[in-house]
Structure 1
Amino acid sequence: MKENKGLRLLLIPLPLQGHINPMLQLAQILHSNGFSITIIHTSFNSLNPSNYPHFNFYCIQDGMSQNEYSSSLLNFVIELNTRCVDPFKECLGKLMCDVSKEPIACLISDVMCYFTQDVATNFQLPRIVLRTGGVCSFVAFAAFPFLIEKGYLPIQESKLEEEVTELPPLRVKDLPMINTKEPEKYYELICNFVNKTKASLGVIWNTFEDLESSSLSTLSQQFSIPMFPIGPFHKHFPINNASSSSSLISQDQNCISWLNNHKPKSVVYVSFGSVASITAKEFLEIAWGLVNSNYPFLWVVRPGLILGHEWIELLPNGFIENLEGRGYIVKWAPQLEILAHQAIGSFWTHNGWNSTLESICEGVPMICMPCFTDQLVNARYVSHVWRIGLQLENGMERGKIERTIRKLMEDNIEGNEIRDRALKFKEEAKVCLEQGGSSCSSFEKLVAHILSLKTFTFEAS
């Protein structure tokens, strides 16, 4: 650890797996650079303090239930931002009066916890935000008022394939929407977190300059606050320390032993993250597409992934046995270890930002199957800007799945070019964290920025 800064940082994540992991990784990065860390977390998906004995934890009661989360992700996030205001005020009041600990330099909150901005302002507490997604998708979110004005939103079925000329290479179907009967409510949510980001004193990004330089440049012209691309967060530490302790689901470690028995670059890894869902028909088409490709596969089927079903009971009798060890299905897996394993040849992903970035860092080409919001933008960038993957579009069909897997895994011109580009980005992701690298330099600026906030005072409103 570097010299103690004598300052405390308050961090508050959105209580979903894909947001908790990068926030806790950021906390570890900051702690290893001399800051004391206090994590403010909700009672929903409450964190286990014993996993991080070097942090202080404070739990606020949000009153959210699993049923509320399962029924509507949109309503869950909106309701969380309403219910947390008062308990967060009470929490901040206590923490800022605690003279037994170091003075608080600032609050770092998830962008989606936009309720924290007004509360922090009332306490004269500087707020920096962490965006756990990519910059490319945030550019699209920030453009929502324009997209509505120009008629791109709400999306019309007849215009799905049209290019959004102002946001290349996105088409209308790639805009970061969610399936909802209340689009106005979704637009308001986007507007809230974008505007509260603009009101903050800076944005921390889990990305790196060489990957998203164009999007960073675009956003910097629109926002008059500093940007700190200091990622990839998980590469600041050994892989086994980066996220396993913050996993909300028990990880099956046996799959690593299974991978050890396979040739390099021979296995297709399949995982659609902690939130996405698929239909029973899609599940079966995926299963047969994997089998028919004749490549070994490691498939994460999270309980609840398949709408209306518990787990893999839909598979025909004898399906697993007939694979003769060529397929391995688990409920959850240590993804960072898997992607870094020499046996992995491709990653079939929903393109959540964490998964996308983790795949880039290991030079693993992607098969893209985005479900909603920023995943749609990420997949388009993977396939058409960075060109390190192929996107499955217009439905799941086993023949198309088989052909896509083969194209990415076999020795052919397109597959070879994709693999070469993926390895190039892997090297850039490594170099950016070295002394003098872009993320290393950006982190030094972030630390200097945080230290400068000691003298910050809000203007009277």
Structure 2
Amino acid sequence: MATAHFVFVPLMSQGHLIPAVDTAMLLATHGAVCTVIVTPASAARVRPTVESAQRSGLRLRLAEFPLDYAGAGLPEGVDSTDDGHVPPQFMPRYFLAVSRIRDAVERHLRDAASPPPTCVVADFCHPWTSGLAAALAVPRLTFFSTCALCLLCHHNLEKFRAFDGVVGDDEPVPVPGLPPTSTSSTITVTRAQAPRFFRGVPGWEKFADDVERAWAESDGDVINTFLEMEPEFVAGYVAARGTKVWTVGPVALYHRTTATLALRGHTHNSVAGAVDADECLRWLDGKDPSSVVYVSFGSIVDLEEKQTIELGLGLESSGHPFVWVVKSPNRHGETAASFLRDLEARVAGRGLLVWGWAPQALILSHGAVGAFVTHCGWNSTMEAATAGVAVVAWPHFADQFVNAKMAVEVLRIGVGVGVEEPVVYQRVKKEIVVGRETVEAAVRSAMDGGEEGEARRRRARALSAKATAAMREGGSSHANLVDLVKRFQPRHVVESGARNGKATSQLHPSADLELEIHGH
């Protein structure tokens, strides 16, 4: 039988890379061949997971392409956006360097790929992959690890020019054209909260145009969400953009065992006092069910010293056991690092500070965890929903504000801390600190055993059940994964001239191209 071969081109950032690899593994479980294009640092992050998948018989490959640092004017070794590897002033050069691997990727896929590629699945941040797919004469899908609500908000805010005439970045406006839900009829955002996908960032105007153009010209979108989580917004997004959408999440559910969860995104902890996955589990095993608060702000966010101290004191005062991923000492100032070591000694037994990498999905899936203090990156939000835990929503930048609104206002599985504007990547530097009293109150609210807290937890557990059902045989995401593999088999892909001045590919007429959403 002819085999579909998907070429994934993720953004080399943990929040984009890991769900792309998870999606590739899911497609491989349904018989596809999947190649993931990576830089050396990104390859190191996902290699343990990929090798585990390969040992189980999946046809999953990593293809490494080093960047030309000197040619792009980058410091040596800057090949990942995680952990501060790319200082902000070098970010445009970084994206330029990544785009320049196109010719090498094309040669590799022409000369060494067997079977030949049948589809490119590219992160929306890589508009240059339009040319790659055209040169290979295969379709190209845009990959998003964010919610359909976020994508629809962006589209409608741009289409209806919702911020025209709005002077301040902090003035909320209703997002036009959103379908009402059973819990929220209106969602408002400020310009600072809007998921603008590089819009409004000085110096990024052309790149934003390129992203939008490539997105519009793609042959469909693959989104790490699931239909039952946001049916109105998935349908609204399909109708608004007139595109084919495959919802395939929660892709983290590929990892159904402790062993594979522990490998997901694994990096070696060389920090003194760092704990590994087994130690985390043993510590959690000693706690009561749903009694522990898990705290993590993802791979990019580094808290300012004052905020680190206020957060720590708020957690300490809450009285609840907690696991806090504080990252490595070199990502903290001397004052904050000293405070964290003192706090670690004071809360020994009740609080666990994780220095370095943490097996997040594994921790969230443990029965002792009852709430998640999160920056509301979409992967973290999805992992919380999948695990059925309540969230304390603390957005920092980009799509995180809309994700927080999804959790708090639409799904009603979370409480907010009141942050209404970006904390990082600010255009004008401004100190924003959530005080210890607010932290304590938010944690107590999320862990509340009263009627409101129990209702929140019931909704979280119900959402978790829907997430699991979506990935089982017969579920909406499972059906979309099967459909992707079927549609992009070679016998269904034929060259069809040009669209918008570029070579492109369409599916064979036997594959229905009408807009559809499986399970809706």
Scaled by the length of structure 2, the TM-score of the pair is 0.79
| Aligned residues: CA RMSD | 2.9
Shift in Å, 1:207: 0.7
CA contact (8 A) 2:162 2:176 kept: no
> Aligned residue for 1:104?
117
Distance 1:327 1:222 in 2: 47
Given candidates 52, 56, 61, the residue that maps to 2:61 is 56
The Cα offsets for residues 33-86 of structure 1, whole Å up to 9 and x where unpaired, read as 112222211245343656534333322222254669538676655434322333
Distance 2:435 2:169 in 1: 24
Distance 1:326 1:83 in 2: 46
Distance 1:317 1:79 in 2: 37
Distance 2:237 2:341 in 1: 52
Given candidates 482, 493, 513, the residue that maps to 1:454 is 493
> Aligned residue for 2:397?
372
> Aligned residue for 2:25?
28
Q: Name which of structure 1's ranges 393-402 and 67-76 shifts more when overlaid on structure 2.
A: 67-76
Q: 1:367–1:143: structure 2 CA closer, same or farther, 3 Å change rule?
A: same
> Aligned residue for 2:326?
301
> Aligned residue for 1:124?
137
Distance 1:174 1:352 in 2: 13
Distance 2:145 2:212 in 1: 14
> Aligned residue for 2:15?
18
- For this pair of structures, how many residues does the alignment match? 453
The Cα offsets for residues 401-448 of structure 1, whole Å up to 9 and x where unpaired, read as 111111221222221111111111111111112232211222222222
Structure 2 counterparts to residues 312-331 of structure 1, below 5 A: 313-315=337-339, 318-331=342-355
Residue aligned with 2:132, SS: helix
- The alignment status of 1:252 with 2:243, answered yes or no, reads no
Distance 2:168 2:207 in 1: 17
Structure 2 counterparts to residues 437-448 of structure 1, below 5 A: 437-448=475-486
> Aligned residue for 1:145?
158
> Aligned residue for 1:133?
146
Structure 2 counterparts to residues 51-450 of structure 1, below 5 A: 51-53=49-51, 54=54, 55-62=60-67, 63=69, 65=75, 69=81, 70=84, 78-98=92-112, 101-143=114-156, 145-146=158-159, 150-151=163-164, 155-157=168-170, 159=171, 161-164=172-175, 168-172=186-190, 174-176=193-195, 183-186=201-204, 188-240=206-258, 241-242=260-261, 244-248=263-267, 250=269, 252-253=276-277, 254-303=279-328, 309=333, 313-315=337-339, 318-331=342-355, 332-394=357-419, 395-450=433-488
2:142 maps to a residue whose letter is V
CA contact (8 A) 2:122 2:141 kept: yes
1:337 maps to a residue whose letter is L
Scaled by the length of structure 1, the TM-score of the pair is 0.89
Q: 1:458–1:344: structure 2 CA closer, same or farther, 3 Å change rule?
A: farther
Residue aligned with 1:210, SS: coil
Distance 1:262 1:201 in 2: 49
Q: 1:456–1:342: structure 2 CA closer, same or farther, 3 Å change rule?
A: same
Q: 1:200–1:186: structure 2 CA closer, same or farther, 3 Å change rule?
A: same
Shift in Å, 1:165: 5.1
1:222 maps to a residue whose letter is A
Distance 1:434 1:398 in 2: 42
The Cα offsets for residues 235-265 of structure 1, whole Å up to 9 and x where unpaired, read as 1331432572533454732121111110001
Q: 1:370–1:96: structure 2 CA closer, same or farther, 3 Å change rule?
A: same
Distance 1:49 1:421 in 2: 36
Residue aligned with 1:211, SS: coil
The Cα offsets for residues 359-411 of structure 1, whole Å up to 9 and x where unpaired, read as 00111000010100011110011111111000111441111111111122122
1:325 maps to a residue whose letter is G
1:145 maps to a residue whose letter is E
Shift in Å, 1:21: 0.8
CA contact (8 A) 1:17 1:247 kept: no
The Cα offsets for residues 191-245 of structure 1, whole Å up to 9 and x where unpaired, read as 4323312211111111110112122122111223210001111213314325725
Distance 1:61 1:37 in 2: 20
Residue aligned with 2:456, SS: helix
Q: Which has the higher contact order (CA 8 A, sep 6+)?
A: 2
Q: 1:245–1:403: structure 2 CA closer, same or farther, 3 Å change rule?
A: closer
Unaligned runs of 5+ in 2: 55-59, 179-185, 270-274, 420-432, 502-520
1:126 maps to a residue whose letter is P
Residue aligned with 1:26, SS: helix
1:134 maps to a residue whose letter is C
Shift in Å, 1:152: 7.0
Unaligned runs of 5+ in 1: none
CA contact (8 A) 1:78 1:189 kept: no
Q: 1:6–1:284: structure 2 CA closer, same or farther, 3 Å change rule?
A: same
> Aligned residue for 2:181?
none
1:326 maps to a residue whose letter is R
Distance 1:102 1:165 in 2: 45
Q: 1:389–1:233: structure 2 CA closer, same or farther, 3 Å change rule?
A: same
